[in-house]
């Protein structure tokens, strides 16, 4: 029993030191982490003793990362909003960006550690929900990288929907069944859509000066999908469609870029059209997060 208690205390110290590594930019290496444990202030704040390099080295074998899940979740809940755009103060739902990224290099590196030739299809996909105003991933699910079946990005999101979120999504998440599931979960969505969808407007709304300045060229509420199609599930709620005029990024266009039309669909019927364009503009924040995650 004493050995078990001593081992539990050691793991608790290691967990605290690992959290110190994640949240303190000064500590950048295993040796630096060990040196930090010798400081009296660190020992007092974390309730730990001086750690030996051997204790930290064996952490990869004896440490259970699941024990960090609840701690990190509790700490994340206490994080305040880094920024809150006053333009979207009318939106009650939590703006949550949704996307996935392919992890191709990491599985190959791991495979090479124990195999001479890694499997050809060893990549994984990281499905992420990202709160833009806290700049914080609130959920990340790792699946196989084939984007089919249970690993399909739409299926993963549909399985983990929550109430009170505004899911901002690119065209890969365009699915009528997913739209219905989000609405049924008492949440909202803003999703980029194809231009060739059949849309029957019941109300075409006038554009304000602010809408026109934001590039909005069309704003209407109606039914999405062809009413004659019996094989495809249709949204069971009114859908709002917006056309937004944008200029492509210089790296993805010619020397003389021309404006293109972006089609957005949403179940947010009362939010000003210009603000819906602002919400989708924030979607690029999740790509910046993926870059930091992969490169840092």
Task: Retrieve residue 63's tokens.
Answer: 């440490």
Between CA 140 and CA 118 the distance in angstroms is: 25
Predicted TM-score of the model (pTM): 0.74
The two beta strands, 260-266 and 188-192, are antiparallel
Q: Which residue has the higher pLDDT, 66 or 261?
A: 261
- Give the H or E element holding residue 223: strand 216-224
Q: Residue 6: which pLDDT band, with cuts at 50, 70 and 90? A: very low
Residue 134 has pLDDT above 90, yes or no: no
Residue range 141-192, pLDDT digits in tens: 989 888 888 899 999 999 999 999 999 999 999 999 999 999 999 999 999 9
Instruction: Confirm if 191 and 169 have CB atoms less than 8 A apart.
Output: yes
Q: Which residues touch 273 (CB under 8 Å, ≥6 apart)?
A: 205, 207, 208, 211, 214, 216, 219, 242
Q: Residue 250: which pLDDT band, with cuts at 50, 70 and 90? A: low
Between CA 283 and CA 269 the distance in angstroms is: 20
Residue 116 has pLDDT above 70, yes or no: no
Average confidence score pLDDT of the chain: 83
Return the HEC string of 11-29: HHHHHHHHHHHHHCCCCCC
Residue 122 has pLDDT above 70, yes or no: no
Instruction: Confirm if 91 and 275 have CB atoms less than 8 A apart.
Output: yes
Task: Retrieve residue 199's tokens.
Answer: 């849309």
Residue range 270-293, pLDDT digits in tens: 999 999 988 888 888 999 999 988
């Amino acid at each position: 029993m004493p050995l078990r208690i001593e081992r539990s205390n050691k793991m608790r110290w290691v967990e605290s030191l690992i959290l110190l590594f994640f949240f303190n930019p000064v500590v950048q290496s295993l040796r630096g982490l060990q040196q930090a444990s010798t400081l009296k202030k660190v020992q007092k704040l974390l309730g730990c003793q001086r750690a030996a390099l051997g204790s930290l080295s064996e952490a990869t074998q004896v440490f259970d990362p699941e024990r960090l899940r609840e701690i990190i979740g509790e700490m994340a809940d206490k994080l305040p909003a880094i920024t809150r755009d006053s333009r979207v103060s009318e939106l009650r739902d939590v703006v949550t960006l949704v996307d996935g990224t392919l992890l191709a290099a990491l599985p190959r590196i791991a495979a090479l550690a124990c195999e001479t030739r890694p499997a050809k299809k060893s990549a994984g996909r990281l499905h992420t929900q990202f709160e833009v105003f806290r700049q914080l991933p609130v959920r990340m699910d790792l699946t196989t990288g084939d984007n089919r079946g249970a690993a399909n990005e739409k299926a993963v999101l549909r399985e983990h929907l929550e109430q009170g979120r505004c899911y901002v999504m690119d065209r890969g998440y365009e699915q009528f069944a997913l739209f219905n599931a989000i609405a049924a979960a008492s949440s909202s969505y803003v999703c980029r859509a194809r231009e060739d969808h059949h849309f029957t407007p019941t109300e075409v709304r006038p554009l304000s000066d602010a809408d026109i300045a934001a590039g909005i060229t069309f704003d209407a509420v109606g039914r999405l999908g062809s009413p004659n199609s019996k094989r495809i599930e249709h949204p069971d709620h009114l859908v709002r469609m917006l056309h937004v005029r944008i200029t492509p990024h210089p790296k993805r266009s010619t020397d003389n870029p021309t404006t293109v039309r972006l089609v957005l669909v949403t179940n947010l019927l009362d939010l000003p059209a210009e603000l819906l364009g602002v919400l989708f503009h924030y979607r690029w924040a999740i790509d910046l997060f993926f870059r930091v995650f992969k490169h840092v």
